[in-house]
Structure 1
């Protein structure tokens, strides 16, 4: 792991400034004589001051005279207090007309250029200054450049100063999550894990200033680190710098002493009913806090509740609370809620948590009830704290089951096994024994990576279970483990009688376990359409009963939806399902286990789509999470995928490093062959194609022996892409007859077309891959067609195919493969040919082109014919695509320069 030094303010804000094109807008305003002012409005901390500072520098660089004025509460109490230094000595402003003329003369520059005047916090400007400035702006003597705090009270004179067509106003919004991710990546110099982006964005609330201090604080503490591939943030509270605490503390202190009690209570117990908030402070004080933007009020059912307006306010307030004051507030609020009879569903959770935090103990019955509520809310950390606090004599099989499962979800399978093994030895009832056995085998298989032990636990339970339903549940449990172990046929046989409707199953947890793995088994044997249907059914069922079970979050099922859709060849839908699931897991759960598998599955989706940079980021995230939380099963596949992506991107050192680490990993049998994916593509990147094919052939042989149809087809398709089409074409055709996967069938067609060197077939299969969303194989097929046409002496067709390959490859994130280099190079257009082609592509008639360029129509048509031949096209309608989408970027410049408008395309 590597750490970087603190992010400096200039480095952070330089990346931030101008994110929405505001600097370009300001530059246009400077050039527009009708523009008298440029005002940036927004909430505190969004970057207004930094933006206008950069604008001022740009104005000075453009040759304008610049000056500053300070608006403050103190200056605002004195007429002209803010701009007194701009008023020339001896000017008498008692006569406004004469005084204004004198000021205007003294401020006017020798070249009649306006003075650009920067004023921060315009809402604090005194009325006299605002009136004088408005006159100077109207006279063209001053260009105003200022900031305005959204929501702050503004006087009439200042409001008039900031409004009107001549004043350009920009609302600088808070950072959304995408902007925060882009900003973090630029500042840190590499991709940032999605979980880290989410945590930092939620913690800062979109405030750029807060985000900078959070990142700086995390770097200083070593909480934000990079493994060379991706930046990760440690779990736990996100804390900033001492400077951030001071900034927030000053804002909170400005609310006054009367507001402090309710702010402290909110920091510990939010959300609060409005009635409880108004017991801690008067209604007027609470309303004032809302007006000041320190708290928010909203409806929670039929009750109005109050929360702090920013997550960091609570962090700062809690850090300042003395221990006894904290205890007093917690106990008092717990008593209030108990006095109301714990009527709301989450009251028990809150009261137990508050009493536990205040005194270290709570009523055992309430602890159990609260832990169940935390568990159903997927708050595993809180559930664990409550269950650990439960005295031993009050533990039952149910509480131990809950605790064991909580440890698993928190990535601690050893503790989970200890708790569940104790429960198994202390349980006598058959139903309890069955529940413990299933939970224990699940933890051993998925958490501790001990599949043999997990199967032994399942087998031992069969000797103690006598009911038919119980034995079926154990069969389904074994079937799930067999599929995940790379035995799909055996596993599917055990799951054959799994009910299609969860409500018909004797136990929803057991059904969900089987339904989670059945789609994977169907996918592995080539029944990808059935796999998608089962995965979507399992997700819908999980949503319908999620609050009734101790199973994971329903979004976990979207991992299988993503995986099955990817294998079926519906990659855009797969990506959407995976991203939705990842966002839900990151937002609703504190556990990393399921995020690891979903990140891996998203990496696989992007790899199949031919987007190696995106795939590498997801594989890196999965690997980093797996290392951090010692969840070893997905580590090897993630590293192998990462190595393959790095190799295709030409980063051979990173590929070698990932391959070396992957060789030491434990491999789940379900990924037979994928352990060598990275190694194979590393050989290919080095030009050792025979070695790459040998590695993949061995991997495909193992996949075939295990009956893994879809993985074998993917591996054989890679062999065909690396020069072995003739060797694998027959087997791929056979697999395509037993699979409904669009990718498998396209792979078989690609191998056959490559083996026959048939360009028409290659272009047809390129279209099939492109429709599936598999861009890199599509680009490779088109490139191979270009090569075949070139060898056949059909240069125009070769050029057209090469252009199509280049257009598709533009979506492949700079991937480098052997087939892509097979495309015949496109002859470069001359400057005049390009100019004529661009105009023709946007519909300009030949005569108009000739008139505009002062050429003959014959010359224009000759240039067009040369461009057609070089680009491999025959009509003007194909020009935009053939020009690799550069027409849209260039047409406004060329057409605007010549004054042309769109016309009817010549036939």
Structure 2
């Protein structure tokens, strides 16, 4: 891997550009701690100086070169200069470097200025003062240096910038540029957290993960294997050398590596205050004060990795047990102390007091640390397991996507249940786990019904009815599910069981959004989120941010697309930080919102992220609609090879009953691939059948989405009436905009098409707006209103510019100097995809002569003479071609 691109340093580059143009400027110094990219920025500045026509040179100061006067810059001195007399010799050097073609000034880069010897520093300062050079220098923060070097950095004529570590956003921008494609957000989060924004550390982590095969691309997106973050030998050496200088404070550093954060008193048990002060000054530890509490941590996450790797087993054991004893001696009063003590004792000895393990597991679960919960409870001896521990363990397995292990733990917990309360609690989690693990709805309902059969109390039976409503909506039956959730309490405080309420309140807005009641859906999602935040510590349900998932669906279908994306991206970051596998559904719905907005590259990125996660946890319910969406995006972007590959994976999935979005929408990929290849009739037939499936299961908003695509692919007359009905049944602004578009396309009325474009643009549906405006322009041309047609075409182009390279059949209408008829358009599309006239005739049940006649008229209107030119015009990819793989910017 060569030199990394420079990301996030725009202001610094701009500052150098100003310095380069100012005759009075003598230097540009880049400061900052080790590894933040000082040298990389300085190199970029030198490259820009060279491109601007300056003469350039470079030198690297070092401890070895610093022992020899002028050792760092000897190679830059003019030949024949006698330095036995420094005053005359330095003056000769100034004259020699000042001379040259056009009297161009030198720009000289010196890395690690703080290591420069005094003679070199004095000479460089003279060259700067004489205007012979503009010095670019890098200086590591906190390093000592002499007066001569200080002179290079001082004065108004020297510009100074100080770099800090990369922010999470800058890391997110850098990694796709380095890897050449989108990177999933968990990987970005892990690498940003581990590197601490240090570019050097980040580079070595990426190189190590690539070398180990832990950072891979699946054809769509880069992702890091769960729990794997290997570095390189160089990274270990760099950090090891930094830590080696703190020999007196090594015991404290080792304890922090195992047990941070620590109160100062615990750190002082291993080293006196003066040593801690030296460690802080050296940038190895950080002392943080939060109100009245003071804690000590390592200054960088990777310091702990290196220290732990070097610890002998017995030394590790001693440190852990001693620290556990210290905390216990204080009474373990602080929140989280029990969890920490249990974790330390478990790591030291492989076991811990059973009661302590159970208490710690409860704390870990309520902190949404599911991996730690599993570690603690799997260490609990079998004889100490209860229904509650089995339920907690099963729930933690579920939250980490380990379905089979969850079912085993939950089955054991069910067998141990001694009363209705315990039986109910196990049933809630077990039925959800069955659904997510690809079991049929009937199997999950059977578990629910078996528990129901043994219960007589109306309140407890009602809890199982709510659970059934949850399951039916999750499995694609919103109408029946909503009927069971109709009387759900509107506030968690009124609920008899917070876990039951949270499940119902999570799924109810999904059902409402799917049947078109988007206003109620959004209100319920907000209510559920607020309630979940209030009772999170007492709930055995996923992270509160999952309650934003149905909100994204509801806002999207209400036509509040920008708001849906803002809310969804914020919640997704929370779910990534919590490492919750439920985030797969947030990625699913964010991809769907971007598809509705007409942004296929961004939608493809979200769906690729969802697909990678769904494959990793074998979650077919999510994978089916995701693969359909991925293929649709690839087709609309002209990447037919990727669309075919994705559909092949989709066809190989095991059969599964419909889920939240698989009642028809999973066929989007097949339909759009057909449309891109020119088979519009087949695409419309497939979409119409899929819309019928959605209608049959009550997915009205899904039906509207599919019928809108039927209208876009030439079936507006067939879809308009039903879309008008759906606009009356579905609230929000999106359904009326869809209906208006279909009606305008059916009537081919340019005025109504422009109104439809306005309606689509108002909700943020850029591609629908572009298509409506393009169709309006074509209609004006047919009416010989060329000025109106040109004005509307310009407007269509502005909308299309936001659509990330999408190409659809409706947009190709605007390519013709004269409008194509529907038949000419269909035949031209088929021909552009590489079909011979004979094949087109068979597909459309026409004679070959009729096909050729239509094709020649289309050629004339489009201004082309060959099928290859036709393909370029329509921007489709002939079979066998290898198209550019469009990618989402991360």
**Conservation of the 8 A alpha-carbon contact between 1:799 and 1:824:** no
Greater Cα offset, 493-502 or 40-49: 40-49
- Cα deviation, residue 164, structure 1: 3.6
- 1:745-824 aligned at under 5 Å gives the runs 745-823=736-814
**Conservation of the 8 A alpha-carbon contact between 1:18 and 1:51:** no
Given the superposition, is the C-alpha separation of residues 18 and 672 from structure 1 closer, same or farther in structure 2, using an over 3 Å criterion? closer
* Alignment match, 1:649: 637
Query: Could you give the per-residue CA deviations for residues 367-393 of structure 1, whole angstroms, max 9, x where no partner exists?
Result: 001111111111111110100111111
* Alignment match, 2:707: 716
Secondary structure of 1:658's match?
A: helix
- 1:446-845 aligned at under 5 Å gives the runs 446-587=436-577, 589-591=578-580, 593-665=581-653, 666-670=656-660, 671-823=662-814
Query: Could you give the per-residue CA deviations for residues 32-53 of structure 1, whole angstroms, max 9, x where no partner exists?
Result: 4333222222321122223334
Normalised to the residue count of structure 1, the TM-score between the two structures is 0.86
Secondary structure of 2:500's match?
A: helix
**Conservation of the 8 A alpha-carbon contact between 1:196 and 1:233:** yes
Distance in 1 separating the partners of 2:7 and 2:603 = 30
Secondary structure of 2:183's match?
A: coil
Distance in 2 separating the partners of 1:175 and 1:428 = 54
* Alignment match, 2:862: none
Match of 1:324 among 311, 314, 330: 314
Given the superposition, is the C-alpha separation of residues 445 and 339 from structure 1 closer, same or farther in structure 2, using an over 3 Å criterion? same
Given the superposition, is the C-alpha separation of residues 629 and 81 from structure 1 closer, same or farther in structure 2, using an over 3 Å criterion? same
Distance in 2 separating the partners of 1:18 and 1:169 = 17
* Alignment match, 1:168: 159
Secondary structure of 2:418's match?
A: coil
Query: Could you give the per-residue CA deviations for residues 820-870 of structure 1, whole angstroms, max 9, x where no partner exists?
Result: 12236799xxxxxxxxxxxxxxxxxxxxxxxxxxxxxxxxxxxxxxxxxxx
Secondary structure of 2:738's match?
A: helix
* Alignment match, 2:182: 191
Query: Could you give the per-residue CA deviations for residues 158-209 of structure 1, whole angstroms, max 9, x where no partner exists?
Result: 3442234432333334323333233322222221111111111211111222
Given the superposition, is the C-alpha separation of residues 504 and 115 from structure 1 closer, same or farther in structure 2, using an over 3 Å criterion? same
Is 1:130 the counterpart of 2:118? The answer is no
Greater Cα offset, 359-368 or 670-679: 670-679
* Alignment match, 1:240: 231
- Cα deviation, residue 757, structure 1: 1.0
- Cα deviation, residue 299, structure 1: 1.9
**Conservation of the 8 A alpha-carbon contact between 1:91 and 1:103:** no
Match of 2:420 among 430, 439, 445: 430
* Alignment match, 2:860: none
- 1:12-51 aligned at under 5 Å gives the runs 12-13=3-4, 15-16=5-6, 20=10, 26=16, 29-51=19-41
Distance in 2 separating the partners of 1:17 and 1:419 = 47
Given the superposition, is the C-alpha separation of residues 667 and 605 from structure 1 closer, same or farther in structure 2, using an over 3 Å criterion? farther
Match of 1:150 among 141, 166, 169: 141
Given the superposition, is the C-alpha separation of residues 197 and 18 from structure 1 closer, same or farther in structure 2, using an over 3 Å criterion? closer
Distance in 2 separating the partners of 1:17 and 1:755 = 49
**Conservation of the 8 A alpha-carbon contact between 2:684 and 2:715:** yes
Match of 1:313 among 300, 303, 313: 303
Is 1:368 the counterpart of 2:395? The answer is no
- Cα deviation, residue 58, structure 1: 5.1
Secondary structure of 1:119's match?
A: strand
Distance in 2 separating the partners of 1:575 and 1:61 = 41
Distance in 2 separating the partners of 1:508 and 1:301 = 33
Given the superposition, is the C-alpha separation of residues 103 and 190 from structure 1 closer, same or farther in structure 2, using an over 3 Å criterion? closer
Distance in 1 separating the partners of 2:6 and 2:15 = 16
Is 1:105 the counterpart of 2:86? The answer is no
Please list every run of 5 or more consecutive structure 1 residues that lacks an aligned counterpart in the other structure.
Answer: 1-7, 828-907
* Alignment match, 1:387: 377
- Cα deviation, residue 744, structure 1: 1.2
Query: Could you give the per-residue CA deviations for residues 563-603 of structure 1, whole angstroms, max 9, x where no partner exists?
Result: 1111111010110111111100111x233x21211111111
**Conservation of the 8 A alpha-carbon contact between 1:413 and 1:448:** no
Given the superposition, is the C-alpha separation of residues 294 and 723 from structure 1 closer, same or farther in structure 2, using an over 3 Å criterion? same
**Conservation of the 8 A alpha-carbon contact between 2:216 and 2:224:** yes
- Cα deviation, residue 291, structure 1: 1.4
Given the superposition, is the C-alpha separation of residues 217 and 546 from structure 1 closer, same or farther in structure 2, using an over 3 Å criterion? same
Normalised to the residue count of structure 2, the TM-score between the two structures is 0.88
Distance in 1 separating the partners of 2:294 and 2:485 = 49
- Cα deviation, residue 108, structure 1: 2.9
* Alignment match, 1:285: 275
* Alignment match, 2:328: 338
Match of 1:415 among 401, 405, 410: 405
Distance in 2 separating the partners of 1:159 and 1:826 = 69
Query: Could you give the per-residue CA deviations for residues 284-316 of structure 1, whole angstroms, max 9, x where no partner exists?
Result: 111111111111110245221111111111111
**Conservation of the 8 A alpha-carbon contact between 2:690 and 2:706:** yes
Secondary structure of 1:170's match?
A: strand
RMSD: 2.2
Distance in 2 separating the partners of 1:494 and 1:155 = 79
Greater Cα offset, 34-43 or 317-326: 34-43
**Conservation of the 8 A alpha-carbon contact between 2:57 and 2:107:** yes
**Conservation of the 8 A alpha-carbon contact between 1:805 and 1:823:** no
- Cα deviation, residue 20, structure 1: 2.4
- Cα deviation, residue 491, structure 1: 1.1
* Alignment match, 2:853: none
**Conservation of the 8 A alpha-carbon contact between 1:441 and 1:455:** yes
Distance in 1 separating the partners of 2:26 and 2:89 = 21
- Cα deviation, residue 22, structure 1: 5.2
- Cα deviation, residue 750, structure 1: 0.8
- Cα deviation, residue 450, structure 1: 3.2
Distance in 2 separating the partners of 1:762 and 1:667 = 39
Distance in 1 separating the partners of 2:237 and 2:357 = 37
- Cα deviation, residue 662, structure 1: 1.3
- The size of the alignment, in residue pairs, is 812
**Conservation of the 8 A alpha-carbon contact between 1:732 and 1:747:** yes
Query: Could you give the per-residue CA deviations for residues 383-424 of structure 1, whole angstroms, max 9, x where no partner exists?
Result: 101001111111111111100101111111111111111121
- Cα deviation, residue 683, structure 1: 0.7
Match of 2:220 among 229, 234, 239: 229
Match of 1:253 among 236, 240, 244: 244
Secondary structure of 1:342's match?
A: coil
**Conservation of the 8 A alpha-carbon contact between 1:559 and 1:597:** yes
Given the superposition, is the C-alpha separation of residues 826 and 53 from structure 1 closer, same or farther in structure 2, using an over 3 Å criterion? farther
Distance in 1 separating the partners of 2:772 and 2:354 = 66
Given the superposition, is the C-alpha separation of residues 448 and 338 from structure 1 closer, same or farther in structure 2, using an over 3 Å criterion? farther
Secondary structure of 1:16's match?
A: coil
